[in-house]
Chains A and B, each alone.
Chain A
Amino acid sequence: MSATANDSFAALCQALFEQHFARVYRVLQRFSGEPELAADLTQDAFLRLYQRGSPPDAPEAWLITVGLNLMRNAKSTQTRRARLLAADDDPAGAASTYANEGDSEQEERVRSVLQAMPERDQQLLLLRSDGYSYRDMASALELNEASVGTLLARAKHEFRTRYEGAVDAFGQ
């Protein structure tokens, strides 16, 4: 690539970072419950975009797809590590991997309800709550775009039912 093309690609990456960092970070942070990890993986997704050297067809969808894949890899690594630790000296094991000390009661409840749902439904809710389009969601989660609305409706209903069940169970 010529110096001019390099410069314009770098400028494009910078613009994409400024436009989309907060959104990608929020989805990953809500999904993982770990701000540090989410920030690292969001940065990593943007770095991969930069290293790619050319813009993808749909940058928003590309960035969130890469971010979610990185998160999936990180989670499976963490789970493996937690299992090994559990075998040694951590009886709580993998289940405690994502629990943050000091979480509010409300946050804990939302997180436990969300994590009890299928991963695809969790990600649908998080992506839509951040305004991702049906096309981007379908691309990031490898879904048929024509059924995104139906899946989303089911996921919202599932979340609400589980959440209200959890509130009833705690008598609050």
Chain B
Amino acid sequence: MHLDSEAIQRLLHGELDESRKRESEFHLTQCAACHATFETAELEEAWVFDRLEALDHPAPARAANAPWTKVPQSARAGWFERFDGFLRAGWFASTAGSWVPRAAALALMLTAAAAAAYVLPGSPFRTWIDEIAGRGDAPKSSGLRIPGIDSGASHPASVDRAAGPAGIAVEPHDHLVVQFAAPQASGEIVVSIGTSSLVSVRVVGGAAKFDTDAASLGILNRDSAASYEIELPADAPSIEIRVAGRVRLTKRGSQIVSDATVDADGRYRLALVEGTNR
């Protein structure tokens, strides 16, 4: 018996209990018709939800504080108290009382702040660091460099194989679109989910240029034959990967919708060659 519409949707949204989920997933491996229906439902949902994003407008700044908060939080506590409170209430709650993880978190946050200062367009901190590192003419980009990599709109991602693959890493913010400019004659995109807070793209076996702003990471890959390894932060709220404007993978929270094949390591593999993966 085929899966009905309710079961297909529940499977798509993780709304089946574990045994029904296993049964349904097994059924999809045996039934080509249901498998096709499931894939169509997945793609239709990505298509519809993508259109709905055209309706979004940010909330007015005045709405940022809770209505019962007369005095902004920032006026009531110093930065150290707020930071310490954040650590006690959050990730490190289970180790409250021990200064070691909190000190580690402070170091981590200082590193993140330094990284943020580095990527800020026009930041003197960036120039300062580049001068120390002997890279006075470094390109301006909102992306972070990663070892062996040169990035930025005006600089091709490196082709120096001895230095390892080239790439870029950027903050995903609330929503990020990773946009490949064009399909390629060969090559693929391999997407994995990682623990880093940044979206990283590594170019393997070729070259590409990058063009970044706060909401998008453009990969100018025309005439490239490279493959791309993309790592998405597990906690990034919303990321899309598009090739020539077509949505190929959508991540919303922990839910991923894509026409990719999934390999044995759980990575999503998207062919960059036109007409494949579908």
Q: A: which residues have CB within 8 A of B?
A: 10, 13-14, 17, 21-22, 25-26, 29-30, 33, 35-36, 38-40, 42-44, 46-47, 50, 104, 106-107, 109-111, 114, 125-126, 128-129, 131, 133-134, 146-150, 152-154, 156-157, 159-160, 163
Contact = CB atoms under 8 A, between A and B. Distances in A.
Interface residues of B, number: 34
A35 B60 CA distance: 7
Given A110-B55, A160-B44, A163-B51, 4 more contacts: A13-B68, A46-B67, A47-B67, A134-B10
B6 A10 contact: no
Interface string B120-151: 00000000000000000000000000000000
Given A149-B15, A153-B41, A160-B44, A26 B56 contact: yes
Q: At the interface, is chain A mostly helix, strand, loop or mixed?
A: helix
Interface of B: 4-10, 13, 15, 41, 44-45, 47-49, 51-52, 54-60, 62-63, 66-69, 174, 252-253, 255
Given A22-B59, A47-B67, A153 B51 contact: no
Contacts, number: 106
B66 A125 contact: no
27 contacts: A17-B66, A29-B59, A30-B55, A35-B58, A36-B60, A39-B60, A42-B63, A43-B66, A44-B67, A46-B67, A47-B67, A50-B66, A50-B67, A50-B68, A110-B54, A128-B13, A129-B48, A129-B52, A131-B253, A133-B15, A134-B13, A149-B5, A149-B13, A150-B5, A156-B45, A156-B48, A160-B47
A17 B252 CA distance: 20
Given A43-B67, A156-B44, A125 B59 contact: no
Given A29-B59, A35-B59, A14 B9 contact: no
